Structure 1
């Protein structure tokens, strides 16, 4: 049997797993805590020699020998994935194995990479134990040092260490050879939803450590029953049985020593226990860290000093909740992969730090490391910045689901070593991090004897944390009940959130929910409201943080991002990897802004706006709202008429209080047509590790009870109406409007010689599918043909009366081969001032029982002159918003460009909608254009692209701008949902087959004569 197909061999000559830590020669250097100051350290990242083979057996004779000629080998960067450096094939799949399922066997054609490099070992390594550490290699590999076989390892996202002390020469050049196998028996446990990428993709490090020092240690920093005193226990394993003593010094965050204990060894162990009175607690909101220094001495000489951050916190079960420091916390979390759009799974500490800072700035408090242990940098950063972690084992067997025997190897005892080892290696590496709240056994691998054993071992190794595994559907072993994409409403689903609330006897989390694919997710607020309402629902983790697009360029140098199927990979789940809250270039998506708002730390409600009294609820579990400054403003449309700031009083976590804002309501005098809003911004008073003072973490807005009707205007002037064959022409002093009497629609509006509109309103029920429509696209396109619209004109009537032109057009609007339709009536009034009053009404007709359950939209679309790219509007903004994703938006006057309104999703799709609009203007750089206004409200969007353009394009580089602006005014836009993987559009947010009426006014104007908002404030009466 080939060793890479032997699932009962977990490794050869690999050292026992241990915590990841650094060791220093002095206390001063330990406090600096950097690789440079350790006893001996060498990073072996860089350019290695590389040979790519179709199978291991094709390896040249003696390739591992020191004298092997590498001159014909290629260069490759380590760390790196070889597929992104020109070797092998890129392949993305969510589910499938890329070879026949016959565990533990893998294909004969097994892409293999041979890596070689030389390195010099400095004198600082002399007398030390020399360890070669690989932080991540996919999928399995053999190691040779100076031509001598040093070991074998697998489990791609786990660290491996090899003792090479007797194989290397200090003060001389040495060489290392690594042969990496893309496929191994371990691959059956590594079928995660991500790109299949191979090679040495994490750091390679050479360590020199004292032979009489600490090999490993475990820190337990708990709290007593009253959550008052810290209970510190340290168990250290030595490399020697010779007599040494270890001094344990604990310092607070200010560097003050709070305790010192010295203990001698008993064989290879040293233990210490101590009580820290009135210990500061660690939590994601207040990540207070002590520093522990462990100084090892022998015969009065310091051998080494090891630093370790320590956070005191307690985790325990309490009936149907779990508690952190006595509180049933709520996870406001993200699933996060190690990912980089250029380098694949190669991520630097700086990138991870940016992720965590951004998460904190967006109110995220938790990460699930899907679906493997992350790069070790993450854990220190989560300790320091404050982030709860579910640390997940590198284990997923998703492809077995399609065999009909999902637990094929999960319930096979011969695979126990492979399963348990992956988990124990993770726990050993990460055990000293206070940020870790739960150990997760893996993902989507069914349930069986091997998971039962993993649970037992996890509890034996670490009783201070909880065990998570979503695949334990009956919660037989796991401490928490975990589900994915559990629905809010759907009578056809066997299990809903309400069932969990009624039946669950253990705490519940959603380890994945609200699939953030493309334009979405929807329903974030609905889930969060449930979490707040029921203690047993302890939050969840959005799927997921990043879009996994691969940075690419067209021949013209235009950047775009490729996804599954773009590399000829088959089968592929295509763009299912483009499902993040961050776009590949780290641009936050509209969905991330929505999530920030939904999980914000303050919930605000109005008590008495005339007196300035509001009610605040703290959504923190530990922190006080006193850290915020409340900045307030009263807006009169686009003008701030009052504003100021105040410091919040102390409002402890999970409590509430009324607050009075010192504005002068009595001085607010309504102007005709203007609207008045109170805007609130909760901003940090002081700088924090993750954001500067003034950073906004929460908002609120309230419409003030002040309003005065706009001035009524009766249009005056002369209007000349003429008919030329099929064209009806209405002309005023400085404008004209043309109608096509066959199609019944406006074909041109001209003001002062400029054609502002070249195609008038026409009913549409279609928008380009969004990624979350993927499960219903076939239904929309192949059953209801919603993308193939038809408008049949049944009658056109017009009359001229008192210098007004009234046009009435009756149509039937439907789609190809559909027996249902809307009976639609367009009513136009062309005024002598150039205003055009438009009303579109629709009535469901025909075989109504055959109509779809919902429509992408109900609205009208128009074409405007391409120069009219300056946009101002009064409505929900500034970002796009939809019925089930509108919490982050606030009413106001916003300015943008047509291009700026466009959300550049990796996969082009419908975007840029704005709800509750009262008016919108589009002008050119000379101020010429039009205003669309209403006495009700409408949705609007403006784009350089037709819906068909967005639908047909597979990538952003496929889009070609039209020579006009597409302008949409909608009665209703359908909701977003997360039906690509999860909840569909909730019934109350759908655009349905229902009667509708859409009324608005189009006014060609020049903003040098009158402002857009004053145009909108007028109430035109005819």
Structure 2
């Protein structure tokens, strides 16, 4: 059997797994806690020599020898994945193995990378044990030093250490050779939803540690039953215990020493009770500094620093508790990922991730689906983030074989499963941020998971066990599900069953598939979490789009995804599913999530009196950390504002508040008034500056502001030709095509404003969350192939206005269902156009689709009119099931900035509850659209068909006009790419509708958009 197919061989000569820690010669250097100041350290990252072979058997003779000629080898960066550096094939899949399923066997053509480099060691390594550490190698590898085989390891996202003390030469160059196998028996356990990327992708380090030092230690920092006193259990393993003693010192978060104690000779553990400890939570990440010093007689051998957080995790009936509280997890699933470097991520990148998560109210991370880079856990401890630490284990491809538990329920594979669990726990055990050990992901269930749970409980009784695949909750401590539906047309939704029947705490380890424009329904899920103690939150899938940074021949940046590299089979753009775009730009959905999980719920009691109620959504933190900034806005002008400190409001409690503002003023006719509340940090924190907003609220003030009546009369002329009708006013003209029934052109002061008037449409470019219904929309109902048949075109001259009525039939290719539509245009002498469109479902109604993308109209506007101002929800796009972060107000933007540039082009940019929108050029000439109710609107330089046809952003070419969409209704987003489809209440259906609005060409020299919005047009009777 080939060694890389021997599933019962876990390693050769790999050291026993242990905690990841640093050891220092003095306390002063330990305080700096950097690799540079340890006893001896050498980073082996950098440029290595590299050779990629089709199979291990093609390895050159004696390739591991120090004198092997490397001139024919290439340069490669370590850490790095060889595919993103131009070697081998890029391949993305969510599900499939890229070879026949016949465990433990892998393809004969097994891409193999040979890495070589030389290193030297300085005097700091003298008289030290020398350890070679690999932090991550995909998938399995052999190591040689100076021509001697050191060992073999697998388990791609786990650390592997080797003792090379006897092989290292102190006064000469040392040769290091690593042979990495893309496929191994371990690959059957590494079928995660991500790019298949190979090589040495995490740090390679050389450690020099004292022979007489600590090899490993375990810290358990718990709380007593009253959650008041700390219970510190410390155990350690000395390499040479004889004649050594250990001193333990503990300093509290304020810097005061609370423990200084020697461990008696011969003992390897210590138990202490510390009164009145500061407790660690994600909201209050209080950390103590532990120093473990090893002495021989009076000689200091080493000092090990370790941050310690006191917290208690336990099950209590149907909930799990952290420090006695049934917390709510407001989480994300996170991969280690970089759009240029693949799975290579730096500490700085991870720190940016954590800080950004905190700024967006996220309090939990699931390390999907493997242990993350070790940096992550230190940062989660420091900044405050709950962690589900997940074993590097997924066997998803077996699901399609009809025997999903093929190896999960095979005792012969027990070692392979259990080893991965043990290695994760040993590395990460000393981090207070970790609440759960997760057994893996999407690998069915069986005896090997039962054994993993047993081992986890034996190793660490202070934490809980998670595994979503344990559907009957036989081994796991929590009932975990993913993409669990809120409503279903034919069966009882699982969420209802969970609430009614589950006797264990529940979390959604994945939900809200953040693919492209979406997800929707986040508020509905969060409301359920808050309503039921046993529903303890969930984790959005996922944090980051996995696009590959690429450039066109012209140098334009774009991002490729699955299938763009000839990879087959591929799940295509299913990897573009994050709250962050590949360039780290937060998507609109991240702002929606921030709002839905914000720490303060504001309820208006009496806005006339400025009375509000605040409910803390924190589990531990007092709301005293916030100042409340309030403002009263008249249209777009702040007319009053102020700041007041929030009083003491403990976690999960509420209080009433009276704002010191004046609401007894006389409102301006036609104006809109808003009360905006912003909860801002009173002081700078480690994650955000003073004044940073973490919660907010927005209310329209109930003031009677009837508009200014405007008489739209004026003299009009009508000119007819064979196919056109033109209405002429004093400074404008409106032309209609009598054949197509469309408004053909609106000219004001000689400048074309509208290049094509409102045309009914039911179509929007599919969004990523439509992926499961695109075939139904396009191939069954042909919704993208619209037809408008004009039945009649009539006009009549009324008193100083002209009315045009167009009756049409609107449907799609091969459809027996249709809309009967009536367009009515009233062209006023003032130049205002009053537009009304009414549609009635007709034809064979029972054959119509049960959901339509939109009901609205589309117009073409002069491209110079690129400045946008509107009163509606903003500032970012919003939809029926994703509008919590969209606040009513007046916003200014541009056509370009109204467009959300998703990696995969799709419908975007909608603004709900819009009352008016204005488009102007740099000279103030423009178009104003308003309604007495509200409409949805969006604008861009692209037609829906452009967005539909483009695979990447670089495929888009701007039109010679601005597209303006005004909708009666636009369909919701849902999460149906993976999860709940559009909820019934948010759907756009085949229904009667009426869409009315005013169109006015205007010049800002005469009146601006705000003034126009105050007008109330009254037509003469």
Is the structural similarity TM-score above 0.5?
yes
Distance (whole Å) between structure 1 residues aligned to residue 114 and residue 705 of structure 2: 78
Distance (whole Å) between structure 1 residues aligned to residue 386 and residue 249 of structure 2: 26
SS in 1 for 2:896: helix
Distance (whole Å) between structure 2 residues aligned to residue 673 and residue 822 of structure 1: 35
Aligned to 1:597: 595
Distance (whole Å) between structure 2 residues aligned to residue 719 and residue 207 of structure 1: 89
1:815 alignment partner, one of 812, 816, 834 = 812
Distance (whole Å) between structure 1 residues aligned to residue 511 and residue 269 of structure 2: 43
Aligned to 1:482: 480
Aligned to 1:32: 32
Aligned to 1:681: 678
Aligned to 1:986: 983
Aligned to 2:200: 200
1:833 alignment partner, one of 830, 849, 857 = 830
1:755 alignment partner, one of 749, 752, 757 = 752
SS in 2 for 1:633: strand
Distance (whole Å) between structure 1 residues aligned to residue 804 and residue 881 of structure 2: 37
Deviation digits for residues 532-577 of structure 1 (CA, Å, limit 9, x no counterpart): 0000000000000000000000000000000000000000000000
Distance (whole Å) between structure 2 residues aligned to residue 810 and residue 570 of structure 1: 50
Deviation digits for residues 154-196 of structure 1 (CA, Å, limit 9, x no counterpart): 0000000000000111232111000000000000000000000
> What's the CA shift for 1:131?
0.0
Aligned to 1:568: 566
Aligned to 1:365: 363
1:720–1:803 CA contact under 8 A, matched in 2 = no
1:353 aligns with 2:348: no
Distance (whole Å) between structure 2 residues aligned to residue 176 and residue 646 of structure 1: 63
SS in 2 for 1:262: strand
Aligned to 2:928: 931
Show the 5 A alignment for 1:889-928: 889-928=886-925
2:536 alignment partner, one of 535, 538, 545 = 538
Distance (whole Å) between structure 1 residues aligned to residue 996 and residue 27 of structure 2: 75
1:746–1:760 CA contact under 8 A, matched in 2 = yes
1:934–1:1016 CA contact under 8 A, matched in 2 = no
Distance (whole Å) between structure 1 residues aligned to residue 628 and residue 800 of structure 2: 54
Show the 5 A alignment for 1:679-828: 679-828=676-825
2:486–2:493 CA contact under 8 A, matched in 1 = no
Distance (whole Å) between structure 1 residues aligned to residue 394 and residue 716 of structure 2: 73
Aligned to 1:76: 76
Aligned to 1:856: 853
Aligned to 1:395: 393
Distance (whole Å) between structure 1 residues aligned to residue 492 and residue 172 of structure 2: 67
Aligned to 2:105: 105
Distance (whole Å) between structure 2 residues aligned to residue 36 and residue 744 of structure 1: 77
> What's the CA shift for 1:716?
2.1
1:300 alignment partner, one of 280, 298, 310 = 298
SS in 2 for 1:167: coil
Distance (whole Å) between structure 2 residues aligned to residue 802 and residue 532 of structure 1: 59
> What's the CA shift for 1:317?
0.3
Show the 5 A alignment for 1:115-130: 115-130=115-130
Distance (whole Å) between structure 1 residues aligned to residue 838 and residue 492 of structure 2: 40
1:655 alignment partner, one of 644, 653, 656 = 653
1:393–1:440 CA contact under 8 A, matched in 2 = yes
Aligned to 1:500: 498
Aligned to 1:273: 271
1:674–1:707 CA contact under 8 A, matched in 2 = no
Distance (whole Å) between structure 1 residues aligned to residue 666 and residue 676 of structure 2: 17
Distance (whole Å) between structure 2 residues aligned to residue 651 and residue 243 of structure 1: 55
Aligned to 1:211: 211
Distance (whole Å) between structure 2 residues aligned to residue 265 and residue 618 of structure 1: 51
Distance (whole Å) between structure 2 residues aligned to residue 733 and residue 1016 of structure 1: 22
Show the 5 A alignment for 1:318-717: 318-493=316-491, 495-666=493-664, 668-717=665-714
Distance (whole Å) between structure 2 residues aligned to residue 933 and residue 221 of structure 1: 62
SS in 2 for 1:382: helix
Distance (whole Å) between structure 2 residues aligned to residue 715 and residue 183 of structure 1: 76
> What's the CA shift for 1:612?
1.0
Distance (whole Å) between structure 2 residues aligned to residue 199 and residue 245 of structure 1: 42
Distance (whole Å) between structure 2 residues aligned to residue 673 and residue 434 of structure 1: 57
Distance (whole Å) between structure 1 residues aligned to residue 133 and residue 851 of structure 2: 56
1:628–1:683 CA contact under 8 A, matched in 2 = yes
2:144–2:151 CA contact under 8 A, matched in 1 = yes
1:843–1:995 CA contact under 8 A, matched in 2 = yes
Deviation digits for residues 377-420 of structure 1 (CA, Å, limit 9, x no counterpart): 00000000000000000000000000000000000000000000
Distance (whole Å) between structure 2 residues aligned to residue 190 and residue 445 of structure 1: 10
TM-score, reference length from structure 1 = 0.99
Show the 5 A alignment for 1:135-174: 135-174=135-174
> What's the CA shift for 1:265?
4.2
Distance (whole Å) between structure 2 residues aligned to residue 478 and residue 801 of structure 1: 76
Distance (whole Å) between structure 2 residues aligned to residue 707 and residue 378 of structure 1: 54
Aligned to 2:43: 43
Distance (whole Å) between structure 2 residues aligned to residue 703 and residue 931 of structure 1: 22
Deviation digits for residues 799-821 of structure 1 (CA, Å, limit 9, x no counterpart): 01222110011111110000111
Distance (whole Å) between structure 2 residues aligned to residue 129 and residue 401 of structure 1: 46
Deviation digits for residues 309-365 of structure 1 (CA, Å, limit 9, x no counterpart): 000000000000000000000000000000000000000000000000000000000
Aligned to 2:869: 872
> What's the CA shift for 1:494?
5.5
Distance (whole Å) between structure 2 residues aligned to residue 493 and residue 573 of structure 1: 28
SS in 1 for 2:897: helix
1:243–1:264 CA contact under 8 A, matched in 2 = no
> What's the CA shift for 1:493?
4.4
> What's the CA shift for 1:241?
3.1
2:228–2:277 CA contact under 8 A, matched in 1 = yes
Aligned to 1:235: 235
Distance (whole Å) between structure 2 residues aligned to residue 705 and residue 572 of structure 1: 54
Aligned to 1:1002: 999
Distance (whole Å) between structure 2 residues aligned to residue 190 and residue 730 of structure 1: 70
Distance (whole Å) between structure 1 residues aligned to residue 651 and residue 686 of structure 2: 20
After TM superposition, which residue ranges in structure 1, 4 or more long, deviate above 2 angstroms? 491-496
Aligned length: 1019
1:316–1:324 CA contact under 8 A, matched in 2 = yes
Deviation digits for residues 627-663 of structure 1 (CA, Å, limit 9, x no counterpart): 0000000111111111001000000000000011100
2:544–2:581 CA contact under 8 A, matched in 1 = yes
Distance (whole Å) between structure 2 residues aligned to residue 870 and residue 282 of structure 1: 50
> What's the RMSD between the two structures over aligned residues?
0.7
1:85 aligns with 2:85: yes
Q: Which runs of 5+ in 1 are unaligned?
A: none
1:675–1:707 CA contact under 8 A, matched in 2 = no
TM-score, reference length from structure 2 = 0.99
